Structure 1
Amino acid sequence: MTKLDSEKIFTNRKIVILLASFCCILWGSAYPGVKSGYALFKISTSNVFSELSFAGYRFMLAGLMVLIFAVLSSKKIFSITKGNIKHLILLGLMQTTLQYIFFYIGLAHTSGVKASIMNSTSAFFSVILAHFLYKNDRINSKKAIGCILGFIGVLLVNFSSQLLSFDIKIVGEGFIAVAAFAFSASSIYGKKICENMDSTIVTGYQLLIGGLVLLILGISNKGYVTNFTLSSTLVLLYLGLLSALAFSIWTILLKYNKVGSIALFNFLIPVSGAILSSIFLGETIFNWENGIALVLVCIGIYIVNYRHKS
């Protein structure tokens, strides 16, 4: 497939919407997946370093999967310059290591409701950063409306009495916001790197490098992952596979499209996460919050991505 063919495919609006939604549903499935992984590996949610080790295994596995696919696709994964190596290391530290360190530490000091809401601010960060970095990706009324509808959807899906409490802790909600910003900034940085490198190779190395650092940090602080069984290993393999697929596709979409139009799909993650958690963790799924939240997020995405026919 030539570069022109790839650009034609990955800028097709229907394909973009389908693939971006698929990525966010995959990331949403990580919510019940990680919870199940903690239970099967007997990792306490208060044991941050064991969580970092678990994340390290997950992202290293994902990186290896992507690089193996690249090799099978006849891509030269070792033909990278010293300058590119520096970019890949920085991207891995930002998009995987830094993001998940702040996310897990923040999650340990706040509620799941507030974490989900604060994490959804990555869409806002992406739209704002793109506004200042790209002349053809300015904030307009459609993006503003899309962001507002998406955020309202996230608030609804996490609706509880906790939303009435506005106390914000730097180490809690503040760290989750930093993690969201790290994801947004690194996504744009990755888009820049992919101008001169194959997006599959970029994704594979950033996941592998970021995961390796997470694992080293976890193990060096006695955060071990034990109790490997068939069930726990299958969950880990699934988490690795979903990360490999989602990050690979997301990187390609960002390479060929405006950041602002893709970022809005991030609001689907907490919504799909809540719905999938309801299905796989045996919680109540048929409630008005989930339904209205999904509708609002979809309307917001539609508004931003709608194009008038010439």
Structure 2
Amino acid sequence: MPKTSIFSDRRVVVALALLCCLLWGSAVPAVKTGYVLLGIVPSDTASLLLFAGVRFTLAGLILLVIGALGGKPIVRTPRQLAEMTLLGLISTAGQYLFYYIGLAHTTGVKVSITTSTSTFFSVLLAHFLYANDRLTPRRVIGCLIGFAGVVVVNIAATGLDLHISLLGEGFIVIAALLFSLAGIYGKGLSKQIDVTVMTGWQLLLGGLMLTAAGLAGGGHLAAFTLEAGVLLAYLAALSAAAFALWSVLMKHNPVGSIAIFNTAIPIFGVLLSALFLGENVLEWKNLAALVLVSLGIWLVTATRQVKPA
């Protein structure tokens, strides 16, 4: 692997990382629309898992087909397949299983805030695993400011309810931890396996596990319409693109420099949801959150030129 890459150029990193966040943020209104089209209520965890499973299975197939058409070996050894199965279990099946159970036992505001703890998990784990990814005061301050932006954009007029529970906020934190662990584990695998193929297997196998869990729990989807099919195709495509790009960025950069961008996902989600729902985007909390998250990202990524790990 070359010592330098276009994917470690700071301007490219910022552009692609924000693109990933924009894509994931656009999934918020798209998924909500999908629930309506497919007759899924938020409390029906089994159907939520089934919906996510179908989405990620399709996303994985897209990437594996792209890899095959590009001449990439889909799998070389049984060990590689086992490693990618574990990655799919952690990053897709495990993460979203805990996420959707937690979602059913807490509020959307708390989910957005608690999910952002993945930034702290990633930065902390990277500090102990990589010599070139140490914690610095500036990085810590940047993460805290970015997290503050997530809190601000999600605070309702009535304030923030501090009540917590294991099945609610606890499971969301576990999902955030699994996301961080998967990013670091995938970073190691990407040194030996093509990123497109690795991400394809991760999504496909994890998606199949979620589909099986949803079906086992009695989950169901309403009859597909053309509109629902197009929406599901979009969700699969955005997942394929975002996860593949994110894996590339994680491969070529220190984990901490990429993890901070997670704080931008809820901001994009709130802004895009407001646009699609016809709400006022220019609320003070949205603008304040955007400034805080931008400042946090700048503090972390501008500490030095991003170098390959």
- SS of the equivalent of 2:2 reads helix
Q: Number of residues paired by the alignment?
A: 305
Mapped pair 1:213 → 2:209: yes
CA gap of 1:60–1:308, structure 2 versus 1, over 3 A, is: closer
CA shift for structure 1 position 83: 1.2
RMSD in angstroms over aligned alpha carbons? 1.3
Residue 150 of structure 1 contacts residue 264 of structure 1 at CA under 8 Å; is this kept in 2? Answer: yes
Residue 114 of structure 1 contacts residue 163 of structure 1 at CA under 8 Å; is this kept in 2? Answer: no
User: Residues of 1 paired with 2:113 and 2:93: CA distance?
Assistant: 21
Query: Could you list the per-position Cα deviations for residues 62-103 of structure 1 after superposition, in whole angstroms to 9, with x for gaps in the alignment?
Result: 00011111112111213x211111110100000000000000
CA shift for structure 1 position 163: 4.4
Residue in 1 aligned with 2:109? 113
CA shift for structure 1 position 226: 2.1
Residue in 1 aligned with 2:254? 258
Residue in 2 aligned with 1:141? 137
Residue in 2 aligned with 1:25? 22
Residue in 2 aligned with 1:13? 10
Residue in 2 aligned with 1:291? 287
* Deviation larger for 285-294 or 202-211: 285-294
Q: Quote the sequence identity (%).
A: 50
CA gap of 1:45–1:111, structure 2 versus 1, over 3 A, is: same
CA shift for structure 1 position 214: 0.3
Residue 37 of structure 2 contacts residue 228 of structure 2 at CA under 8 Å; is this kept in 1? Answer: yes
Mapped pair 1:155 → 2:151: yes
Q: What letter corresponds to residue 138 of structure 1 in structure 2? A: R
User: Residues of 2 paired with 1:240 and 1:164: CA distance?
Assistant: 33
* Deviation larger for 278-287 or 216-225: 278-287
Query: Could you list the per-position Cα deviations for residues 174-202 of structure 1 after superposition, in whole angstroms to 9, with x for gaps in the alignment?
Result: 00010000000111000011111111110
Report matched runs for 1:115-264 at 5 Å: 115-161=111-157, 163-264=159-260
Q: What letter corresponds to residue 115 of structure 2 in structure 1? A: N
Which of residues 58, 61, 66 is equivalent to 2:58?
Answer: 61
Q: What letter corresponds to residue 72 of structure 2 in structure 1? A: K
Q: Could you list the runs of 5+ residues in structure 2 that have no partner in the other structure?
A: none
Mapped pair 1:34 → 2:31: yes
**4+ residue stretches of structure 1 with deviation over 6 A?**
none
- SS of the equivalent of 1:137 reads coil
CA shift for structure 1 position 284: 2.5
Q: What letter corresponds to residue 54 of structure 2 in structure 1? A: Y
Q: What letter corresponds to residue 247 of structure 1 in structure 2? A: F
Residue 138 of structure 2 contacts residue 303 of structure 2 at CA under 8 Å; is this kept in 1? Answer: no
- State the TM-score, normalizing by the size of structure 1: 0.96
CA shift for structure 1 position 162: 5.9
Query: Could you list the per-position Cα deviations for residues 233-288 of structure 1 after superposition, in whole angstroms to 9, with x for gaps in the alignment?
Result: 11111110110000000001000100000000000000000000001122221201
User: Residues of 1 paired with 2:266 and 2:198: CA distance?
Assistant: 26
Mapped pair 1:72 → 2:100: no
Q: What letter corresponds to residue 171 of structure 1 in structure 2? A: L
Q: Could you list the runs of 5+ residues in structure 1 that have no partner in the other structure?
A: none
Query: Could you list the per-position Cα deviations for residues 102-151 of structure 1 after superposition, in whole angstroms to 9, with x for gaps in the alignment?
Result: 00000000000001000011101100010111111111012111111101
CA shift for structure 1 position 220: 1.6
- SS of the equivalent of 1:36 reads helix
User: Residues of 1 paired with 2:304 and 2:212: CA distance?
Assistant: 51
User: Residues of 2 paired with 1:14 and 1:102: CA distance?
Assistant: 34
